[in-house]
Every structure is written in C-alpha cells, then in structure tokens.
Amino acid sequence: MQIAPATFAQTVTLDYYFNHETHKTNKGTERFHYLWTDDKDSGFSIWGDIFKADGFKLDTLSVAPTIDNLRNTAVYIIVDPDTKKETAKPNYIQNKDADEIAAWVKTGGVLVLMANDSANVELPHFNILTAKFGLHFNNDLQNHVVDDKHFSDGIGLPVDKTIFPSAPKLFLKDVCSIGVTNPDAKAVIKSADGKADIAVIVKYGKGVVFAVGDPWLYNEYTNGRLPSAYENDVAAKEFTTWLKKQTKR
C-alpha cells in the first residue's frame, strides 16, 4: 500500500545516505560536504536558514529512502552521490531506491536532484533514478570556470520566471547538462552559452522533480565568495519559495 507523504509538516529532508563524505580532523573521522550543520564553504547552512525562515523544518535521512521513511517529508534533496574516490564504500542508488523515491513523488512529493560535473559525482546509478522521470545527467562539463578571473564563464541563464521571478544573475560552475526524453519536462536554467539545459523541472503524478547539474546553492556560492553582481542568495530564496508552493498541504 502506498503511503502519501505528509507534506503538511513542511519538512525538507536532505539525503545523508547516497552522499556520505568523510575526512579526518583532529577530532577523528567526521562527515563533511553538503550538511545542514556545516557553516563552512562546503555546507548548506545558509540554504537551511532560508528554508527555516520560510517555515520549513530541517531533517536528514541517513538510510536508504523508502516511501515509508519519506512519509513526513515535503521536499527531499539528493546531492552529489558519492564515487569510490570520495567514499570507500559508497551507497549507490539501486533500482529499488529509484522505485521507492518515484512512488513517493507520484503521491505528491517534491524531489530535488543535484548532480555535479562528471568527475565529481557518481552518474550511472544516479541516472537509474532520473530515468524514472525521463531525465538523464550527461557525462559532460558545462560552464567550466578556469579560475576566479573568469566568473562570467559560470553564468546560468534563468528561463523560467515562475521559479526565479526576478531573473537573478546566477552562477553555476562546472556542471553537467541534462538530457530530456520526457516531453513534459521544462528547462529552468540554461548554460552560459544558452545551448544546454542545466536545470529542468518535470511533473510526475501529483509531485514534481527539479534536477540541476550542480550543488550550486552551498555556502561557497550563496554568496560566500562570489562577486556582488551575482545573486545566488536571491535565487536560493526564490527557489525555496517555489518549492514550498509545490508541496501539497
């Protein structure tokens, strides 16, 4: 029996299972990278504060997702699944995981998928999940930025004003593009040259999927070290507002 997500709780859950990077510190081996609790450049604490300001409760999921353990989640975010270079024994996305997540979205869940450039993310298994929605993270490199003197090479072109109504100046560095086979999928952000889709949305049952080729809203780029002309912090607020509108109360 399918259990519909209790999205009235307005909980946003960040995956800590497929992305479970660790490093050694003077305190021992610790988790890092894309954590709600990490206030360094590598963390999501700024975006987490934006979610909380918009009425969300932050949560994490450190085990394989199922329709049951996602039932109290309104928005589920999967970021940069691990490669063996990053984690000795990565938890790859399997067919069962994809089935469970897709079933949850179908009942009204809001899913955010954030990849990375192909050298820094495990794409083959990630694409088992994206295939459920007619999407595919490509093994390529868009918006390559050689050094900080070339920020303009990382411009993302917003093409959907329902998500980014102010058309903020976006920065997405070293991303993969997204192939689309679902005719209902819509481009949200284009690459700097305007040729590739680097963020798309697609409806799936009663839910929606937002896929983007980079974890672009972590602290370093909201706006930890970007020139003031870039507005990823504004984009994070507008995106979060849009996500909240997608949740089914």
State residue 249's pLDDT score.
Answer: 52
| pLDDT score of 1 | 44
Which pTM value belongs to this model? 0.94
pLDDT in tens, the chain (249 residues): 454 444 445 999 999 999 998 767 777 667 778 999 999 999 999 999 999 999 999 999 999 999 999 999 999 999 999 998 888 899 999 999 999 999 999 999 999 999 999 889 999 999 999 999 999 999 999 999 988 678 899 999 999 999 999 999 999 999 999 999 999 999 999 999 999 999 999 999 999 999 999 999 999 999 778 888 999 999 999 999 999 999 975
Q: Specify the CATH number for 7-246; select among 3.40.50.880, 3.40.50.1220, 3.40.50.300, 3.30.1330.60.
A: 3.40.50.880
Would you call 192 exposed, middle or buried from its count of C-beta atoms within 10 A (0-12, 13-18, 19+)? buried
User: What is the structure's pLDDT at 204?
Assistant: 98
Structure tokens at 57: 């409760």
